[in-house]
Amino acid sequence: MNQDMAGLKERIHATDREVFFSVLSHIGDKWSLVLLGMLSKEPMRYTQLAERIPKISRRMLTVTLRQLERDGLVERIVHADTPPWFEYDLTELGRTLIVPVRALADWTLDNIDLIIEKRAQYDQENPGS
């Protein structure tokens, strides 16, 4: 393997690492998970999402939808009626993501009481933090 190939490999791995974290960071961000969860039940319109998700700002609804769309997890379906209307739905890829996400959510729910307890315990043992 020559220098160039080694260099190339480095760069590919660096990029993968970035994308890897950029995808995972969507999972961790404030709204993606909520949207994914909502859309896993049924396709919904922009305004429906805005109504059912308390406290989300229009800006973040748009931004988050666009990110999810860009990653191919959600699609914007245009219905060509008159007047036209729009729906958001999970893609096939989005649907496969729901599986590990659900597993993580289940883990969190299963352990939430324990974590609350651990937190309280830690805070008690470490007052000045």
> What does the binding site for a copy of itself look like in residue numbers (CB under 8 A)?
15-16, 19-21, 23-30, 33, 66, 69-72, 93, 96-97, 99-101, 103-109, 111-112, 114-116, 118-119, 122-123, 129
Task: Show contacts with DNA in window 44-103 (CB under 7 A).
Answer: 45-48, 55-60, 62, 66, 76, 85-86
**How many C-alpha atoms does 26 have within 13 Å on its Cβ side?**
23
Q: Where are the beta strands (DSSP E) in the chain?
A: 74-79, 85-90
Q: Does 41 bind DNA (CB under 7 A)?
A: no
Residue type, 116: I
Chain mean position to CA 36: 6
H/E element holding 79? strand 74-79
Site residues (vs DNA, CB under 7 A): 29-31, 45-48, 55-60, 62, 66, 76, 85-86
